[in-house]
Amino acid sequence: MASDVRDTLLRQLDIAWALTSYHLETLATEECLWRPAHVGLHVQQLPDGRWQADWPDHEGYDLGPPSLGWLTWHLGFWWAMVLDHSFGEAKLAREDVFWPGDADAVRAGVGRLHGQWRAAIEPLTDDDLRATERTRWPLQERPFGDIVAWANVELTKNASEIGYARFLYAVRQ
């Protein structure tokens, strides 16, 4: 069954994914671990080798700019969360999502999330997108199409942030 809404959302996803892929394809681990300022959200390696991301208690500008490590963690975080809460057991929490540790693992992980998300969206009908059963995170009691649209905007935003941080890294002193 054709779905004009789903097809539009998938085309938007494809555009956002192309931009994201462009910024990730040559991303290096040293870029991810670089901090653009003395303050800002970052990732920290734990004694067990896993990488944990900082979590802000507010969203003010005085937090400083996030590192590429944090930005790529955040991309994986929200995508893993929305997949689990929309199509999984809805048990995943922020504390369960770690930064993968290097740029190659970022590319692989984000690519896997993209594939899972696209495969989950492709079979949806307009009725599925109007329904609220899958809408559990980050919004509730909204049509699921709102979640898909939110994910497209979030992916575009993350791609823009990653691209901007890469420009800063390229001209650092």
Domains observed in the chain: 4-53+63-170 (1.20.120.450)
The conformation of residue 126, written as its DSSP 8-state character, comes to H
Distance CA 58, CA 47 (A): 27
Residue type present at position 7? D
Q: State residue 85 phi and psi, 5-degree precision.
A: -80, -20
Q: What is the per-residue pLDDT across 83-140, written as a single tens digit (0 to 9) for each?
A: 999 999 999 999 999 999 999 999 999 999 999 999 999 999 999 999 999 999 999 9
pLDDT number for residue 48 = 98
Say how far residue 93 (Cα) sits from the centre of its chain: 14
Q: What is the per-residue pLDDT across 29-76, written as a single tens digit (0 to 9) for each?
A: 999 999 999 999 999 999 999 999 999 999 999 999 999 999 999 999
Task: State pTM to two decimals.
Answer: 0.96
